[in-house]
Amino acid sequence: MLAHASTFAINGLESRRVVVEIDVRAGLPSFAIVGLPDRPVREARERVRGAILNSGFEFPLKRVTVNLAPAGLAKTGPGFDLAIACTVLVASGQVPVEALRGLAVLGELGLDGEVRAVPGALAVAEGALEAGLKGMVLPHEGAGEAALVEGLEVIGVATLTEVVEVLRGGERPAPARVEPAAPAPEEPDLADVHGHPDVIEAMTVAAAGGHNLLLSGPPGVGKTMLARRLPSILPPLSRSEALEVMRIHSIAGLRAGGGLVSARPFRAPHHTISASGLVGGGSVPIPGEATLAHHGVLFLDELSEFPRPSLEALRQPLEEGRVTIVRGQQTAIFPTRFMLVAATNPCPCGHAPSRRCRCTEADFARHRRRLSGPLLDRIDLLVPIQRPSAEELARSPISASRIERERVLTARERQDRRLAGTGAGCNAQMDTRLLRTHLQLRPEAEVALNEAYRAGNLSARARDRALRVARTIADLAGSDRVGRDHAIAALGHRHDSELVAEAVA
């Protein structure tokens, strides 16, 4: 007897339809799975047999062959268990043959028949809709997420017995509903920070235009503290951004159900991270931190401690907003549009340029070499942080996230209007052509920039970078045109980093 069921394999960030075919014929009892299965898929044999028998159904004492088509696509993970079990039940006449038509089936099985969560429910639901399927059966944990895909009947289940009940046309559980948006986690607020008016202003500029930011200063002045407060002033995710973030995080196994997210991701990997941990990799490519930070913030604390190959690997993601991973026969393209925020001490002891610094020239040189030059060159705002004075620490904080966020939102609205339909989401994403058409530079501003350029403090690329930051500063000031003050403020935020980059190159 032949039977088949539809399920999906995760391939990069997409889901690909997999048809589970089963052939049951007379012969010595056996159970084989073919179609490029990895070890967890092959082990499905034991889970499926156990789940079927322990749920009170029969496992055919015949020659059973399961094929996962297309045979050329690598199948990985335990998500195929439930679909395989369903085909066994159909092929052995325990479930009507038409029951699986139009349904996608996804889930891992326990030996007792429990249906367990698997990563990627949202991507699978999107794939099921695209493939023209009407419904999807999957574990409860993923059902809320899958229900975000409109036009698909999503049935959440907990056990194999429940699945059989549904397939036999018995009582169906109510279709899964979209869960209310997850409440934004309590975020640390800028109101905790005393002093640092310039740093907070630079963070607001960075958030408003999506610019990359480097905080540099001695130990204990609040670099980490400030960087962790950046998400609190970023605009909320749009619906399509949120779906993309959820799809990525679900495939990475970082979430279990829940409604639409609104907070932007904030990823702060430890500096021991490898290049593939940062940008993605593995024999079946999985996304790295750069992709988990897509539409959010990638925070590299203690930048100079990161291994240089890891930092070098970030160049393509930073430049192109995506990274291509090739492993064996598989190629995956992962999106990586994040804001890079980095923090570092200015020298190995951390006290330069004060008199307390005990570093030698050689120490300095080593420290600079450890910061990747090409990476520094992609940072728009270099912000030195000094120790706050005793008075500043005693005074009340100078701002709060609510206030800065309001300014960021207004500046983003201006950018949205100006950049609508161009493909750039914010000023930092403008390419050279967009920069030329959308900058609206006043002649006085141009004079100021040309002066800085002639003085030799700027490379041509750094000049473009300063122009983008100047555009953001003008947006924060509510100005259609970029004036002299905006240009000078932008230069103030970055001429230093150019010098550092030159020293490193």
Ligand X SMILES: Nc1ncnc2c1ncn2[C@@H]1O[C@H](COP(=O)(O)OP(=O)(O)OP(=O)(O)O)[C@@H](O)[C@H]1O
Residue ranges in contact with ligand X by CB under 6 A: 193-196, 219-225, 345, 388
**E strands within 177-314?**
213-216, 266-267, 297-300
Identify what 195 binds: ligand X, Mg ion, none; CB under 5 to 8 Å per kind.
Answer: ligand X
Classify residue 77 by its DSSP letter: S
Are 481 and 442 in contact by the 8 Å Cβ rule? The answer is yes
Contacts to Mg ion by CB under 5 A: 223-224
Give the whole-angstrom CA distance, residue 80 versus residue 167. 17
Question: Closest CB to ligand X among 225 and 435?
Answer: 225
Identify what 197 binds: Mg ion, ligand X, none; CB under 5 to 8 Å per kind.
Answer: none
Identify what 252 binds: Mg ion, ligand X, none; CB under 5 to 8 Å per kind.
Answer: none
DSSP per-residue string spanning 267-287: E---TT--HHHHH-BTTTTB-
Q: Tell me the CA end-to-end span of the chain in Å, nearest whole number.
A: 68
Dihedral over Cα of 181, 186, 187, 190: its sign: positive
Identify what 127 binds: ligand X, Mg ion, none; CB under 5 to 8 Å per kind.
Answer: none
Question: Closest CB to Mg ion among 69 and 225?
Answer: 225
Question: Closest CB to ligand X among 113 and 222?
Answer: 222
Identify what 221 binds: Mg ion, ligand X, none; CB under 5 to 8 Å per kind.
Answer: ligand X
Question: Shortest distance, CB of residue 127 to ligand X, whole angstroms?
Answer: 43
Give the whole-angstrom CA distance, residue 504 versus residue 487. 26
Question: Closest CB to ligand X among 92 and 345?
Answer: 345
User: CB neighbours (10 Å) of residue 209?
Assistant: 27
What is the gyration radius of the CA atoms in the chain, in angstroms?
A: 27
**E strands within 368-476?**
381-384
160 token code pair? 């194999």
Give the whole-angstrom CA distance, residue 498 versus residue 453. 12
Question: Shortest distance, CB of residue 224 to ligand X, whole angstroms?
Answer: 3
Identify what 180 binds: Mg ion, ligand X, none; CB under 5 to 8 Å per kind.
Answer: none
Question: Shortest distance, CB of residue 188 to ligand X, whole angstroms?
Answer: 10
Identify what 122 binds: ligand X, Mg ion, none; CB under 5 to 8 Å per kind.
Answer: none
Question: Closest CB to ligand X among 196 and 468?
Answer: 196
Residue nearest to ligand X according to CB distances in the complex? 222
113 token code pair? 């028949």
- Pairing mode of beta strands 115-116, 135-139: unpaired
Are 152 and 136 in contact by the 8 Å Cβ rule? The answer is yes
Question: Shortest distance, CB of residue 364 to ligand X, whole angstroms?
Answer: 17
Question: Shortest distance, CB of residue 342 to Mg ion, whole angstroms?
Answer: 11
Question: Closest CB to Mg ion among 291 and 344?
Answer: 344
Question: Shortest distance, CB of residue 351 to Mg ion, whole angstroms?
Answer: 15
Question: Closest CB to Mg ion among 371 and 489?
Answer: 371
Question: Shortest distance, CB of residue 299 to ligand X, whole angstroms?
Answer: 11
